[in-house]
Amino acid sequence: MELGDKLSSIAQRGRDQLDHIKTEEATKTALVMPLLAALGYDPFDPREVVPEFTADVGTKKGEKVDYAIRKDDELSILIECKPLGTDLANTQYSQLFRYFGCTEAKFAILTNGLKYRFYSDLDAQNKLDSRPFFIFDLEDFNDGDVEELRKFTKPNFDVEAILSTANRLKYTNLAKRAIEETIKEPPEEFVKFIVSRFYEGRHTRQVVDEFMPIVREAGKLYIKEQVAQRLKGALARNYVDDTIPQPEPVQAQLAPEQDDIVTTQEEIDAYNIVRSILSEVVDVSRIAMRDAKSYCAILLDDNNRKPLCRLHFNTKSIKRIGFFKDKQQELVDIESVSDLFKYRQKLIDTLQEYS
């Protein structure tokens, strides 16, 4: 099983057992140890994964950090665990901080079972940074995140290789977060800068206040248009580029004596969006579309017992998507097929119910 599939399986376990993972020990057993195993370490071999690692630090005697990972008999990673649900951004990690400076470990991880914050000493040697250089979230990760995490797997672990890109990764993530915050709530300086590009009048307080909501809305609109353009480009590659050999066009399978059913372009577009979303967790060849008079079904393994969603697009006044949980359908109104991207996690959850 690929690393991404293993991680998705662990995340699903966390969702399934959420009501029972109440303590730090339960978090370790249900989530942290399986993740270490997915990375190639044996959590039951104390030569590789040392539980309750102890090292006397100054006047502090007998303090423990939850796990220490050894690679080639050298201490490489320290891990401090908190109970599931803990807000790591506002959590003290004093043991990691103290231990890091007096051991040869070059990396430290703070986790609540679902989120993993990776630290090193990029700012000052032998002193743990106050900000992580990488954050991995089991509930929300992409292919790029998996590739970054792969660097910490037992076969690929290389301190110098990780450190060579860690600083850039850290500031790239911080810059991305700053851009996101700027678009959500643009500061006055940013609004003035944008307004100066097209408004020749004086940038008084009143002018800035008037343009503040306009700039905010323009930022959101720009992102929405970029997503739509990317989707349009992907669909165009599927249907327009005749110079590249293409797979057979999508044909909805019809029930007997229902050859009057017409599969619309919107249904095909929605089908391709679902395939795009789920491609990170399943082979897209397993995702099929079967049209009917009342709805168009998107299925796993072309199996009616494994519906991923249903497209209720036959009514002119409204479009609806039927999502499934525990085989029960929940109808959601949408404005356009691109709204499917908002329900990525629902589709992934449904898919994993059949795993």
pLDDT tier at 229, thresholds 50, 70, 90? low
Q: Is the pLDDT of residue 278 over 70?
A: yes
Query: Is the confidence at residue 154, as pLDDT, over 80?
Result: yes
> Over the chain, what is the mean pLDDT?
83
Answer whether residue 327 shows pLDDT above 70: yes
Would you place residue 253 in the very low, low, confident or very high pLDDT band (cuts 50, 70, 90)? very low
- Mean pLDDT along residues 316-329: 85
- How far is Cα 313 from Cα 311, in angstroms, rounded to an integer? 6
So what's the pLDDT on residue 56? Answer: 60
Mean pLDDT of 254-263: 58
- Portion of the chain with pLDDT greater than 90, in percent: 31
| Over residues 185-211, mean pLDDT | 87
What is the arithmetic mean of pLDDT over 85-90? 88
Q: Decide which of 37 and 175 is more confident.
A: 37
The pLDDT score that the predictor gives to residue 241 is 44
Most confident of 236-250, 297-311, 326-340: 297-311
Q: What is the pLDDT of residues 204-214, one digit of tens each?
A: 888 888 888 88
CA torsion, ordered 58, 60, 66, 70, to nearest 10 deg: 30
Residue 348 contacts residue 8 (beta carbons within 8 Å): yes
Q: Determine the Cα–Cα distance for residues 54 and 103; give it in Å rounded to an integer.
A: 11
Query: Cβ(96)–Cβ(120) under 8 Å?
Result: no
Among 32-36, 50-54, 226-230, 351-355, the range scoring the smallest mean pLDDT is 226-230
Could you tell me how many helices (H) and strands (E) the chain has, helices first? 10, 11
Q: Is the pLDDT of residue 252 over 70?
A: no
Measured at the CA of 303, the angle between CA 302 and CA 306, to 5 degrees, comes to 115
pLDDT at 297: 93
Question: CA–CA separation, 57 vs 65, rounded Å?
Answer: 12
Q: Considering the chain, what percentage of its residues have pLDDT values greater than 70?
A: 87
Written as one string, the DSSP assignment of 48-107 is TEEEEEE--BTTB-S-EEEEEEEETTEEEEEEEE--TT--GGG---HHHHHHHTTSS--E
pLDDT for res 307: 93
| Model confidence band, residue 222 (pLDDT cutoffs 50, 70, 90) | confident
d(CA 306, CA 324) in angstroms, rounded, equals 9
pLDDT at 250 over 50: no
User: What is the C-alpha to C-alpha distance for residues 94 and 111, in angstroms, rounded to an integer?
Assistant: 14
- Work out the average pLDDT over 174-185: 85
State the pLDDT confidence band at 299, using cuts at 50, 70 and 90.
Answer: very high
**Average pLDDT, integer, range 145-150:** 92
Outline where 196-342 has alpha helix (H). Answer: 205-239, 265-278
